[in-house]
Structure 1
Amino acid sequence: MADARNFELNANEVSNTKRRFSKEANIQYTYESEEELLKNIKDLAAMLGHHVEHQRPRLDELDDYYAGNNSAISVLNRRKEDDKADHRSRHNFAKYVSNFMQGYLVGVPISMNHTEQNVEKKMSDVNQMIEADALNADLILDLSIYGRAYELLHRSQEDETKVYLSSPLETFLIYDNSIEKNIIAGVRYITVGYGNDKKIKVMLYTKTKIHTYYTANMGDFNLAYDHSEDHPFGDVPINEHTNNRFRQGDFENVLDQIDLYDAGQSDTANYMTDLNDAMLKIVGDVELEPEEAKKMKEANIIFLKPSANNAEGRESKVDADYIYKQYDVSGVESYKDRLQTDIHKFTFTPDLNDENFSGQQTGEAMKYKMFGLEQIRINKERLFKRSLNRRYKLINNVMSLAKEAKSGELSGFTYTFTPNLPKSTKEAVEMFNNLGGELSQQTKLKTIPMIVESPEEEQKLLESERSKQRQRSSFMEN
């Protein structure tokens, strides 16, 4: 029998290193085989408990940062004095990074091509049925946030193959112990019920069946078998996509910098508020009644009258100013600018508000600024293509059962990713003209889609107007 804890790494070791997440927050689960796992459901329960206790905290925190609920600034007891301002300013760099990555990779939908036209037509119909463009965009966003993304293939009540996004917070795969890391099962768990009846429903997906289990209650990971049903996909119908080899999200390595920026901006806001509430200091012997001082404060003016002359017969000296904490404005602003620069540098995303990232630069200059991001994009594409192949292999399995496609027919596709960046049409046109190139009228119209929506219709209108003009000219001559 396989070891129930063989997926845990050094669970009992205590590290002196301060870590944001558990060392086991991103491990992959392995087991001997599907058959052994079904014989030892306690081991499945142990994996479920491990995912909830070790992996969910990381995923939940990344989810919070994407939603703008930055945790560090929210929980810190930042001010010692109760009467001081305590602003908590959260900055959603996480959403900026992930949305930029999503738009850059799949803002222009992925195109698929095949050498055989009939296969390409079948794939086009499949993509339309599963809404592939929207699904791919959601998967890329999950990859950017969590470092991993999951899709679940399902046969609908209308007997159609559908592919749904499955949250990484409630999904994981189990691999075998071989070097090939073959998938032996997939797990999706959700909370069902309310109040005291709340419990966890666990669905274990194997190559041919879906096994359903329930926990006795919410805090118990012991599983009780409920029922099983067949599925037609011929393999585990959960597909995992990975963002990189380490399954790390795009903003995960700059969480500390985001926290520091939040703290810096919050301190600035606190300083400005505390300055408005600064303590008035009066130096000298002054005749000033409390009620009179209150009226002066309300009128935003102060009149100081010395109480008596000094020994030389002159009025004693009085002065008034405010007591407040001195603040190095230029130093603090430079510090926050440096933090913001580091966030963009370490996530390989450009700061579009940067003066050095203006729209006046040439396309080649822009490419050099995006060079780091391009390397990230290339790696993401390679991994995404691999998991896309598995998606269409599973769909092909169902289609071959229904005689809608041959076995292995939906393979050998070429995927084309087009980075979604603004293009300088002017540069391309000038280069083309300098080379002596010529274009048809319809091609010229296609270069200005913001003015001409349909070049074909516009060409017909032009020809119609020219025909009427010729008829009019001919009539005038006669």
Structure 2
Amino acid sequence: MQNTIPQEHRFDLEANRQYQVPISFFNSIKDNPMQLYETAYKFIRHHIDRQVPRLKELMKYYLADTKIKSWAGSPNPDNAHNRVSTGFARYITNIRVGYFMGNDVQYKIVTDDDSEKQLSKTLDDLITHYNDSSNTPYIDEMLKKDLSITGRAYDLVYVNAGETTLNLAKVDPTTCFVVYDDSIKAQPLFAVRYYQTGVLDELLQENYEIYTDSMIYRYHSDGGLPQTNSPVNNAVLDSAEPHFFERVPLTEYKNNDERIGDWEPEIDQMDALDKAISTMANFQEDFNDAAMVATGRFANKTKPVYEMDDRGNIKVGKDGKPIVLVPPKPIIDPKHHIFYLEPYIARTGLSKGQRTVVTPTLQYVTKQYDSAGWSTYTNFLINEIHKYTNTPNVNDPNFASNASGVAMSYKLWGSDQERKIQEALYKRSLRARISACIAYWNKINALPGENDISVLADMVKPNFDPNLPKNDEETAQLVQTLSGIPGLESMKSLREITQRITGVSPDDEQQRIDDEAYEEAKKSDDYKNGRTGIGEVFATGEPAQVKQPKGDK
């Protein structure tokens, strides 16, 4: 921030390029592991040099390690040099993650074919077990976090060696990417994950994994980072293993079509806010350490240091006065609250024959700062960041906690527009994840019969429920009003509304109602047929069982 003139481009123009290759070219190399690696490494080189710097800088902003940390500040080394970085990026990301993923994604299996009821029940059980064992709710939150920061996120469906249980992992965006074909649909051809292993800075080894729609290729090259060796020449193929996902199992998620983060366009505003706050912090510290100016003569002074002879007596000069080595100095300690000053007579004029009495004063020399203007400026920046990132400002005095649902909807209107786009993109990637899982379950016969993977994937409907503050009283009044209007709302629709209060899904609520009705019917039938109380003795012909009181033998 040494230069206030903005740069032409903050990031490399290639920092967000989507990788593509012609499908015909890929088909010519996909069965040759080393040729595939040579092509993949060209993208790895580009990813490291042109794309990773942007991803790392965005992550630094999330961690409040912003550009202000390199600000030179005042050229005077005696002035304060505070570099205060705000956590605005982290605040926006946490709000977005909580709003989008605060409630777990719910999966419903939808089918109108009665012959597929059992299949849908099996598929529902498999997905439920997979989500529980793989901890997908947490991974979904971390994926949304990466999306909010970098604009892209990646997950990997995999199976551990010697096991058949599916797993899911989030992959660091700085270590992986997906390469698509050059068609309109841009279907994934292969994905690359690369990482380094070693013992601290010793025994370094670069590892590479390439995932196609049928194979997993693993390579390594010794020597550490790609900048320090020649991986194309040194890379060794370690293994080539088939997988049964029928698609590339490493999936990319996009925050939007541009693959930019939630607050990335407002980084300049954040930098300006950091600089404004740092400037005020420096002013306050310089104000506390302001220079003191005294006019007059200090009454409390140090004792002079005289020149002494060999006997320890004070030497006297030719003028008959003691020879002073160190003259007396005023005793000034800013920590003291009391200073003793006295007026003195100063000789003035051309001949210094005039005498003037100097009245003592003591004051600090400070510069004036427009604190009101500073407050207006910082509030302007804060409001601009909130506005252009569509993030509600909970400190806004108009953002009342008791506001009606309509008022809250208007406050979140901008956020909902972005959420709708992000939800559609997230669902598209979720379908790819679910398709890989279904293909694997079908391959190991966890699903009965011969199945069309695409049809089964279409049956799985993910549902997103935004995590918003709840107004239970208003919701209850709405349900009561709607339930009094015949034919306006179905009971299932009303149960979907009350789910916000009870937390029970409409299907679970219906099951509870059916269970209660069954129990009531059973009790009524038992009573009518004498299977309760004394009537049970006559109905069954068996002697009554009388319990002995405790303590009796």
TM range (shorter): 0.7 to 0.9
Matched residue, 1:382: 424
1:287, CA displacement in angstroms? 6.5
CA distance in 1, matches of 2:47, 2:178: 11
Please tell me whether the aligned partners of residues 470 and 500 of structure 2 are also in contact (alpha carbons under 8 angstroms).
Answer: no
| Aligned mates of 1:57, 1:276 — CA distance in 2 | 40
CA contact (8 A) 1:123 1:410 kept: no
How far the C-alpha of 1:82 sits from its partner, in A, is 0.9
Match of 2:237 among 222, 226, 235: 226
- Please say which structure displays the higher CA radius of gyration: 2
Q: How does 1:149-164 map to 2 (within 5 A)?
A: 149-157=153-161, 158-164=163-169
For residues 242 and 401 of structure 1, the distance between their equivalents in structure 2, rounded to whole angstroms, comes to 29
User: Which of 77, 80, 92 in structure 1 is aligned with 2:75?
Assistant: 80
- 1:409-428 maps to which residues of 2 (within 5 A)? 409-428=456-475
The answer as to whether partners of 1:34 and 1:185 remain within 8 angstroms in 2 is no
Give 2:144's aligned residue: 140
Q: How far 1:229 moved relative to its partner?
A: 2.0
**Counterpart for residue 521 of structure 2:** none
Alpha-carbon distance between aligned partners in 1 of 2:437 and 2:249, rounded to the nearest angstrom: 9
AA aligned opposite 1:249: G
Secondary structure of 2:196's match? strand
CA distance, structure 1, for counterparts of residue 402 and residue 167 of structure 2: 45
Greater Cα shift, 41-50 or 393-402: 41-50
Q: Give the letter for the 1:101 counterpart.
A: R
- The RMSD of aligned alpha carbons is 2.9
SS in 2 for 1:103: helix
Kindly provide the amino acid, as one letter, of the partner of residue 192 in structure 2: V
Contact 1:190 1:201 in 2 (8 A): yes
Aligned equivalents of 2:13 and 2:481: distance in 1?
A: 59
- Which shifted more, 205-214 or 80-89? 205-214
Say which SS state the counterpart of residue 237 (structure 2) adopts: strand
- Please state how far the C-alpha of 1:296 moved relative to its aligned partner: 5.4
Report if the CA contact (8 A) 1:287-1:306 is conserved: no
TM-score in terms of structure 1 length: 0.83
Deviation at 1:40, TM superposition (A): 5.7
Instruction: Provide the residue aligned with 2:334 in structure 1.
Output: 297
Distance 1:365 1:447, change over 3 A: closer
Question: Number of aligned pairs?
Answer: 434
Given the alignment of the two structures, is residue 205 of structure 1 paired with residue 211 of structure 2, yes or no?
yes
Q: Percent identity?
A: 29
193, 205, 208: which one pairs with 2:198?
A: 193
Distance 1:199 1:124 in 2: 38
1:59 is matched with 55
Q: Residue 215 in 1 paired to residue 205 in 2?
A: no
1:251-287 Cα offsets, whole Å, 9 max, x none, are 1111111111111111111111111110112345767
Q: Give SS of 1:201's match.
A: strand
Further displaced range: 149-158 or 20-29: 149-158
Matching residue of 1:469: none
1:270 alignment partner in structure 2: 282
Moved more, 30-39 or 95-104: 30-39
1:42 is displaced (CA, Å) by 3.2
Amino acid of the structure 1 residue aligned with 2:105: I
Q: What's the offset of the Cα at 1:314?
A: 6.7
Counterpart-to-counterpart distance in 2, 1:198 and 1:296:
58
Q: Does 1:181 align with 2:186?
A: yes
Confirm whether residue 36 of structure 1 aligns to residue 45 of structure 2. Answer: no
Task: Give 1:24 shift.
Answer: 0.5
Output the amino acid matched with 2:103: V
Q: Which moved more, 1:400-409 or 1:371-380?
A: 400-409
Contact 1:400 1:407 in 2 (8 A): no
User: Deviation string for 1:428-452 (max 9, x for gaps)?
Assistant: 333455668499xxx9x998769xx
Evaluate the alpha carbon distance shift between residue 449 and residue 208 of structure 1 in structure 2; reply closer, same or farther with a 3 A threshold.
closer
| Cα distance in structure 2, aligned partners of 1:242 and 1:434 | 41
C-alpha distance after superposition, 1:152-198 (max 9, x if no partner)? 11112432111111110101011122222121110000012243532
Alignment correspondent of 1:473: none
Q: Which residue of 2 aligns with 1:130?
A: 134
- 2:297–2:341 Cα contact (<8 Å) kept: no
Distance 1:199 1:434 in 2: 67
Q: Is the 8 A contact 1:45 1:221 kept in 2?
A: no
- In structure 2, what is the Cα distance between the partners aligned to 1:93 and 1:294? 47
2:340 pairs with 1:328: no
Q: Distance in 2 between matches of 1:221 and 1:25?
A: 23
- 3-state SS, counterpart of residue 464 of structure 2: strand
CA 1:448–1:178: 2 relative to 1, 3 Å: closer
The answer for unaligned runs of 5 or more in structure 2 is 1-5, 112-119, 303-327, 348-352, 486-490, 504-508, 517-553
| Gapped regions of structure 1 (runs ≥ 5) | 1-15, 460-478
CA apart distance, 1:96: 0.9
Q: Which amino acid aligns with 1:61?
A: E
Does 2:72 match 1:27?
A: no
Query: What is the match of residue 352 of structure 1?
Result: 394
- Give the Cα–Cα distance (whole angstroms) in 2 for the partners of residues 427 and 248 of structure 1: 37
In 2: Cα distance, 1:269 partner to 1:192 partner: 43
User: Could you tell me how far apart the structure 2 residues matched to 1:349 and 1:253 are?
Assistant: 13
Change (3 A) 1:221 1:68: farther
